[in-house]
Structure formats: structure tokens, C-alpha cells
Amino acid sequence: MWATSRVGGISRAADLPSVAPPGGAKGIAKPDPAAAIDGLNRDIIVMLQEDGRRPFATIARKLGVSEGTVRARVRQMRNDKLLRFIAVVNPVALGYSSWAMMGIKLAPGVAPERIAAYFRDRSETVYVMRVAARFDLLVEVVCEDPDELKHFLDEHCYSSPEIASVEPMIGLGLYKSLLKWEESDPDGESNGNGENGGNGDGR
């Protein structure tokens, strides 16, 4: 589970219920991720969703636990790769003035997964989803200016025999963006609030 405002979570393996193998045979217990979002972990996640830079000491005080408990929970959730801290950047502030959501209809016999992977790997795309609608794919692209957007459409859409049609829905105003413009820390350890220049929380 990725939480929408920068964090998501799962609890330590020690907090997870055991899941018996098929047939009731004894074996190694496996964690149940769905059961791990309850209790203290959920409370920690909610507080980090409100402010990803909130010190662990503040969280611990509000939740009535020790700072070490909060730090251990967050560390384990990150180790489970179900929580991360990121910076959300406004693309307009960086000079990207042209963006569009494209509804793409593929030619008969073309595998949607393959074309989705192609657009996923383009640096201009920020969102790629396969849908069950009159389109096969929804692809959002962000460009520096209209010329770059036109070039993207010409090169990757209009010239492709695998795309039957494309409907660009040009953006006129940006009011919320949380998907593409999430840039993780290069080392995955600090968001400016931790060991590499923060308050020692290890974020």
C-alpha cells in the first residue's frame, strides 16, 4: 500500500499473524500484509501523511509510545518497501508548461502490456494506466513547451502503426499533482529530516 501523500506502511513481521500452509500442514509462518496496517502502524502513517517531516519524538509523544518504538516501526516499514519518503515537486514551478492526458486506442492484436511498458519508459510520461473503456491506455505526459509536446505526439503516437488512434486532452490548469513529480532521495535514506541533514530521525 502506498499512501497518497508520500507514505504508506506495513508493520513489523513480529506483529503479523501466522498463515498456515494449505492443508493445515505445519510450516514457516508468512506475514499477512493486509493485517499490518492496524493499530500503532496506522496511527504513525496517518501522522506522517499529514507531515512527512514530523519528528519521531513528536509522533511518539502524541501516540503515547517511546521514540525508539516509532523509529523501529518506520524502519521496518521501509525495509518492507511499503513506506518511503519523497519530495513532491510542482512541474509548473520548474518551467514545464505543457501537459496532456492521452487516451490511446491500440490497433487490433497489439498487446496493451507491451505498449504500456513502452510509454512507461519514456522520460516525458508521468502516468500510464491500462483501462477498460473506449481507450486501451491512459498516458499522461508533461513537457517543457508545446513544441516538445507536439514532437512527443508525432514520434511516439501518430507515427506508430500499433496505435489506432490517440486523443490528447491538453491541460489548461494544474490544481493537484502527486504522481510523477515524486522524486525519491538518491540514497533512499533521508528527505532532509534525517541523518543526512535533518533531526536525526533517519529519514
Higher-confidence residue of 85 and 141: namely 141
The CATH architecture assigned to 98-170 reads 2-Layer Sandwich (3.30)
Give every CB contact of residue 200 below 8 A, 6+ residues apart in sequence.
Answer: 194
Share of the chain above pLDDT 90, in %: 42
Q: Using N-to-C axis directions, what is the helix angle for 39-50 and 67-79, rounded to 10°? A: 90
Q: How far apart are the first and last CA of the chain?
A: 19
Q: Give the model confidence (pLDDT) of 86-125 as tens digits.
A: 766 666 667 777 889 999 999 999 999 999 999 999 999 9
Domain limits, the chain: 1-88+183-203, 98-170
